[in-house]
Structure 1
């Protein structure tokens, strides 16, 4: 009996591939499968803080911006959960992060094309059958199986990243925060290091209990200030197909420094979080100096851990004054973000993957990375080639619509080509001439 060959298989079930699965399931005749080594969908469980909210609108759910009638929308979830009127009265576009996670779990529970507890060990191409071969093992039973697919979508996500000076030390990455919160709060002196939303949320969460539990929590960042996430409407147009077209067409030598200068556009802190932090410091200040110090322009140069005292010594340098010093803490939380790490199973298809001059995926505009541009695709591994829209949930439905067009040979969902009022770069000859021409 001939082994089944899927139209495509997605590896990894985070929000991006989950959205692709949800958009794929209603399509007649589409035979696809999505694999993940975890036992169920659970999105950054270590950061599902009680008051933490999303930084994108609820409309940017798994399906709505591709298909507003799709049954897996957040609004349908709210209706089915009996909470749609409460959500309407709340009048807030930004979901609680825990709420978003539960919504995704609700979608995952209804999809038939997901298979959890499956770890992909090897991936190679079978030229005779003209398909990719996935060697998988069940993380639950140890059962080994082989799956075939004409095309593959990599959605394995990003991994926690710590500074090199933290290697081998019991430093806590922000992604591990919630399970360790009680242990942290049993200490006397805590340090939170980082400049983004995760650092701000953890600092605020610890600050709220600092007076009651009697510990001190400091917040250190090498950024010159606590940058707010820019959420103005013309800036939001930079997470659009228009800007992605523009950014992708730029030379790599221009894209890399440009992206570095745009970190505040997608790695900043919600204004509401910044204001709440100030208000909390103000409240604590009623009883004297708050048990906290906020340090900007302060870079972590090195860190040492002393097992006997179970303390950390941080070597710090102020970037503007050039002064240096040390500080001691009982626990350190580093919110240094995440970075893409190529999965080991790609070793068997290295010859089919296109690379840029720096050895990164040479991602085409259609999100493919194979030399022919039609077989291997990526989700959220194209920041360097597609710009700040790559990790943004707002663009997930657009990217998944493009991926489905490339995977199936036709577009089951309309794909917007231009949504911005701005023109990025000079207008082409085909566009209307500007007044100054």
Structure 2
């Protein structure tokens, strides 16, 4: 262990921490390291389905909202790859998912302060004389433990799949979370009946992809979701201002109870399906129905799937149509779970820091507007988080464009000065009455 004390160490390298690393890179007065246990940056590799696009415009890259002149912008990526003209003629604001993943890897390859294949296994507070810092224990590729000191930590450990009760020991080729869909697709399409569970964008993209494959393999498709219907994402222009720094600041100023109630009101801005995806699905269904009396697609909302059991042949789903209060069992050969994710809180945080945190309820820790986890006693050394912040930062907690604003807040806090402008006051709505000058 060297005596160097870094300004910040990032735990995990996904788009959020990668964007932070890109914003820090040109700064002479802020130095940092970022660690990722996997060997390479892969952004949702199990869902990089051909023909799917991001749900946000390409300006929501890693850096543009902070510094449009950055070398790490998506436009510069296109320029360096000689793809500006193809993207121009593509005539889409949303970049393809595959290309966004390529862009992330292109940025990661240029940054020297990223360490892949190295896992943070512990973080401990230290004090030497008048200096306080964290010591970070990292297990490197050779299995050795190496120690680094830092003033601040950014916890970017992302999320992990939510799965059905009872599926932990079932064959992975048969019961698959969306995070593994493309890895297991070859086995999935061999089934006679494939059931997709969930109502969001991932579920819809998989149903569309299966509709494409259905003509080749002949399987049946069932789509079950507990939501009241398959509703589209609200993409109108004024509602999109709820993904602005101004609204996040307003949302953050509310009480916890007010924020909790508000999240459900904004559900259509986060959990709906892109209108083009729903349109594509309907078009497939319509064309398949021409001249055909055989219905090989079942779509049923209002239905919660509470469990899964292995049967003599295939699997039995325990289902409840909650509006009509009807319980039934449903047989299928293969299952795809588009059941979302839950926060991935590392063990070292729970062990070392959880008892000293301020909680807003029994599971959710209090988080500052700059993503600083709030402790019962104020500390000069911050632990920032981009994980588990919907309750503090609203429906845009996972929005790629707003991640840049969060990184701006963190960089400015770490540097102790305004490195990047914070971008408020640029929308047409206000959320509280202000006095006119």
TM-score (norm 2): 0.94
Q: Does the 8 Å contact 1:48/1:98 carry over to 2? A: yes
1:368 to 368, 372, 377: 372
* In structure 1, distance between residues paired with 2:330 and 2:357: 46
Q: Does the 8 Å contact 1:211/1:291 carry over to 2? A: no
Where do residues 260-409 of structure 1 align in structure 2 (5 Å cutoff)?
Answer: 260-288=264-292, 289-306=294-311, 308-309=312-313, 311-346=314-349, 347-371=351-375, 372=378, 375-409=382-416
Where do residues 21-60 of structure 1 align in structure 2 (5 Å cutoff)?
Answer: 21-60=21-60
RMSD, aligned CA: 1.6
TM-score (norm 1): 0.94
Q: Does the 8 Å contact 2:364/2:388 carry over to 1? A: no
Q: Does the 8 Å contact 1:125/1:349 carry over to 2? A: no
CA offset at residue 261 of structure 1? Answer: 3.4
Larger mean CA deviation between 282-291 and 181-190 belongs to 282-291
With over 3 angstroms needed to count, the CA separation of the structure-2 counterparts of 1:373 and 1:237, relative to structure 1, is farther
CA offset at residue 26 of structure 1? Answer: 1.0
Q: Does the 8 Å contact 1:364/1:373 carry over to 2? A: no
1:203 aligned onto 2:207: yes
Q: Does the 8 Å contact 2:198/2:224 carry over to 1? A: yes
How many residue pairs are counted as aligned between the two chains? 427
* In structure 2, distance between residues paired with 1:150 and 1:314: 50
Larger mean CA deviation between 29-38 and 157-166 belongs to 157-166
Q: Does the 8 Å contact 2:196/2:223 carry over to 1? A: yes
Partner of 1:134: 136
Partner of 1:218: 222
Partner of 2:160: 159
Larger mean CA deviation between 66-75 and 332-341 belongs to 332-341
Q: Which runs of 5+ in 2 are unaligned?
A: none
CA offset at residue 213 of structure 1? Answer: 0.9
Where do residues 402-421 of structure 1 align in structure 2 (5 Å cutoff)?
Answer: 402-421=409-428
CA offset at residue 352 of structure 1? Answer: 4.6
Q: Does the 8 Å contact 1:313/1:326 carry over to 2? A: yes
Q: Does the 8 Å contact 2:77/2:106 carry over to 1? A: yes
Q: Which runs of 5+ in 1 are unaligned?
A: none
* In structure 2, distance between residues paired with 1:133 and 1:155: 17
* In structure 1, distance between residues paired with 2:213 and 2:46: 18
What does the per-residue CA deviation read over 1:334-390, in whole Å, with 9 as the maximum and x for residues that have no partner? 101111131101122335533223242110122101422651111142111111121
1:177 aligned onto 2:181: yes
Partner of 1:89: 89
Q: Does the 8 Å contact 1:122/1:134 carry over to 2? A: yes
